[in-house]
Chains A and B, each alone.
Chain A
Amino acid sequence: MQNSRFNLFCILCGSILLSSCQNPPEEFRSRFLALGTLVEVQITGAPTQQAQKASTAVREKLQAFTTRWRPFVTDTPLHDSDTRDAELAQINAALAAGESIAISPQAQQIITQAARYSALSGGRFNPAIFKLIQLWGFYNDGDAHGPPPDERAIKKLLAKNPSMQNLVIQDGILSSSNPAVQLDFGAYAKGVAVDMAIDILRDHGIENAIVNAGGDLQAIGRYQHGGTARPWRIGIRHPRQHDQVLASIELKSGEVVFTSGDYERYYIYKNQRYHHILDPATGYPARGVRSVTVIHHNPALADAASTALFVAGVAHWQKVARAMGLRYVMLIDGKGTAHLTPAMQKRVVFEVTPVPDIVISPAPGEKPPCAKPLGAKP
Chain B
Amino acid sequence: MTTGDAIVLACGLLLSAWLGWQSWVGGPGGEVIVFVNAERHASWPLDQDRQIKVQGVKGASVIQIEGGAVRFVSSPCTHKLCIRSGWLRRAGAATACLPNQVSLLVTGVKSIGQGYDAINF
Q: CB within 8 Å of B: which residues of A? A: 30-33, 36, 38, 40, 42, 59, 63, 74-76, 78, 138, 140-145, 210, 212, 215-217, 219, 223, 232-237, 241-245, 248, 257-259, 261, 263-267, 293
Contacts and interface: CB of A to CB of B under 8 A. Distances in A.
Given A32-B38, A33-B35, A33-B38, A217 B120 contact: yes
B67 interface: no
Contacts of B28: 243
9 contacts: A31-B40, A59-B39, A74-B14, A138-B21, A143-B18, A143-B20, A237-B121, A245-B112, A293-B120
Interface residues of B, number: 35
Interface stretch (B45-53, B55-63, B74-82, B101-109): B101-109
B1 interface: no
A335 B13 CA distance: 38
B41 to A, nearest CB: 10
Given A75-B10, A141-B14, A237 B25 contact: no
Q: Name the residue among B6, B18, B119 with the largest chain A CB count within 10 angstroms.
A: B119
B61 to A, nearest CB: 17
A233 B117 CA distance: 5
Given A140-B18, A236-B119, A242-B91, 18 more contacts: A33-B38, A33-B103, A38-B107, A40-B118, A78-B11, A215-B121, A233-B115, A234-B117, A234-B120, A235-B112, A235-B120, A237-B112, A237-B120, A242-B108, A245-B116, A257-B120, A265-B24, A265-B25
A36 B17 CA distance: 12
Nearest to A264: B25
Q: Is the interface of A mostly helix, strand, loop or mixed?
A: strand
Contacts of A212: 118
Most buried by A among B28, B40, B105: B40
Contact of A144 (B7, B21, B109): B21
A78 B6 CA distance: 11
B114 to A, nearest CB: 9
